[in-house]
Amino acid sequence: MALYLGIRHYLAEARFIPSGSMLPGLQIQDRLLVEKLTYRGRKPRRGEIVVFNSPYAFDPALRSMTSPPPFQCAIANLPLVGLIPGVGNSACDAYIKRVVAVAGDQVVVNPRGEVRVNDVDLDEPYVTNYCNLDKRGMSLCRTLNVTVPEGQVLVLGDNRSNSWDGRYWPGGPFLPEDQIIGRAVWRFWPFNRLGTLGF
């Protein structure tokens, strides 16, 4: 058990996809390997898929709503334990999104969910489900026009029309780098889609 916990804390851990926010590339119930060494040596880069702590753990407008007691998240994140009623907590959940902008970037997200970074349209071939516009060119999706502060990144779901990401967090759109658990690098289930996450 000690060896398992050591590997999980310092090297890598398995995660599954609980929602459709990263469709079509990542399907619900896909199993991924998340490695934790890369960001100890460098900063996150645009296009990388990151797993991070719940916004309820770091967003100032959400944190006061859900404050778990000490060690609850460590216990809830043990295999199968989090499935026990009453053990889990929304602040203990992990999220997965894609980095679209890093510190110093000036980024615009338009009503369709398309991204422009430093006056250049971001090439995102993995995004196929953008937000719909009505006849007036309006959308239910929120827009952004921000500069990413030092020590933070902007993350969005690939499924732009159905992703709770930085566009909607009430305390601000940015993810602190110290809240990133690791980088999703490999899908090991299902076997027919086994492979690295190079998209």
How far does Cα 82 stand from its chain's mean position?
Answer: 19
Are residues 116 and 108 in contact, defined by beta-carbon separation less than 8 angstroms?
Answer: yes
Q: Is 139 a catalytic residue?
A: no
Q: Is 64 a catalytic residue?
A: no
In terms of Cα–Cα distance, which of 155, 158, 132 is closest to 24? 158
C-alpha distance from residue 49 to each of 45, 170, 196 (Å): 9, 22, 11
Catalytic-labelled residue, pool 21, 54, 139, 163: 21
In terms of Cα–Cα distance, which of 93, 49, 62, 57 is closest to 169? 62
Catalytic-labelled residue, pool 36, 64, 67, 97: 97
- By CB atoms closer than 10 A (0-12, 13-18, 19+), residue 178 is exposed
CB-CB neighbours of 90 under 10 Å:
13
Which residues are catalytically annotated?
21, 97
